[in-house]
Amino acid sequence: MKKMLMALLLVSGSLIAKDYALIVGVSKYKDSTVPKLNIENDIAHYENILTKMNFKDEIEYFRNEHATRENILDYIKRTTKKIQSNDRFFMFFTGHGTDYQDEDYGSKLQTTLAEKYWLDTGMILPYDFNPQKNKIANSVIIGKRDLRKYFAEIDKKTDKAFIVFDACFSENSSKGKNKQIHRFVHLDTKNQTYPYKNIVYIGASKTQARTGKLSKVLDDCIQKGINFRGLKSCMNAELSKSPHVAVVLSGSDKPMIFEKNGYLALGAK
């Protein structure tokens, strides 16, 4: 009887869904030549979003000197191994981003990296980013090279994943693609270049983006308790006059992370 009870407890425990959340914020970089950012409002907005989405477990924070390349990738790698089908995954990054078109770092990337690693992908800059020509390649986090393998595994394991990169040149940071997509907030469910089925990904901009804009718009729109299509329409309206237009990508027009069924309902009490 005791063995049966223990087995039932183990089974029920394995079915209890967990939430994994990582908030990365870099306002000042190890290299003082990288411009400083004001990220406090961004982090507050992302905390609000987690509350509205009924986040119930611990949040991992990597701020400034803790937001190293190793720490960020290690957390994602460990989460990839632990996450199960009933779990949710959230990741928010606010800081600098770059790609091969960046006037500051693009030429260095092209001369120090093989084309397959810098063409048609975005990069985020961790705290220990080093802009020196011989250091830059191994100090950036490249979507195609460093993130896609982990995100693809998360995408297979759970249908409830939400990633936001609030950074310049972040449109392609989660992936690699071969053709342009439209420059407005949209649901690109037929885009064959988007590699994920379940992950909802929001990137701040194809080029430069002003910090503080995306996080506030996203926070305000989620406050309305809308579904995914409603979120797209709300963000489109809010950003209609902004020169830095975000992109919303999903392999589904009804991703589970934004559907109102049970604990996934936005704003549910």
pLDDT of 238 reads 84
- Percent of the chain clearing pLDDT 70 (strictly above): 77
Structural domain includes residue 3: no
Question: What does the alpha-carbon distance between residue 93 and residue 4 come to, in Å, rounded to a whole number?
Answer: 45
pLDDT of 209 reads 41
Structural domain includes residue 211: yes
Specify whether the CB–CB gap between 168 and 211 falls below 8 A. no
Full 3-state SS string of 9-36: HHHHHHHCCCEEEEEEECCCCCCCCCCC
Nearest residue to 92 (alpha-carbon basis) of 204, 183, 207 = 204
Structural domain includes residue 9: no
**What is the pairing mode between strands 161-166 and 199-203?**
parallel
Query: Distance between terminal CA atoms of the chain?
Result: 37
Structural domain includes residue 1: no
Q: How many domains does the chain fold into?
A: 1
Where are any strands of DSSP class E within 170-244? 199-203
63-67, 94-98, 133-137, 211-215 — which is least confidently predicted?
Answer: 211-215
Q: Which domain holds residue 252?
A: 18-264
Nearest residue to 94 (alpha-carbon basis) of 169, 25, 28 = 25
Confidence check: pLDDT of 178 > 90: no
156 Rama sector, left if φ>0, alpha if ψ -120 to 50, beta otherwise: alpha
Buried b / exposed e over 110-141, threshold 16 CB at 10 Å, is eebbeeebbbbbbbbbbbbbbbeeeebbebbb
User: For residue 144, what are its two tokens?
Assistant: 């195609």
Structural domain includes residue 10: no
pLDDT of 153 reads 96
Mean pLDDT of 105-121: 83
* Per-residue pLDDT tens over the stretch 220-265: 988 877 788 888 888 888 877 766 667 788 888 888 888 754 344 4
Compute the CA torsion angle 26, 154, 233, 102 (nearest 10 deg).
40
Structural domain includes residue 130: yes
pTM for this model (two decimals): 0.82
Specify whether the CB–CB gap between 59 and 50 falls below 8 A. yes
Structural domain includes residue 269: no
Question: Which CATH number goes with the domain that contains 255?
Answer: 3.40.50.1460
Confidence check: pLDDT of 43 > 90: yes
Reported as a pLDDT band with limits 50, 70 and 90, residue 6 is low
Reported as a pLDDT band with limits 50, 70 and 90, residue 23 is very high
Structural domain includes residue 151: yes
Highest mean pLDDT among 88-92, 102-106, 115-119, 240-244: 88-92
Query: Rounded mean pLDDT of the chain?
Result: 79
* Per-residue pLDDT tens over the stretch 190-217: 345 678 888 988 887 654 344 457 888 8
pLDDT of 179 reads 37
Question: What does the alpha-carbon distance between residue 137 and residue 123 come to, in Å, rounded to a whole number?
Answer: 10
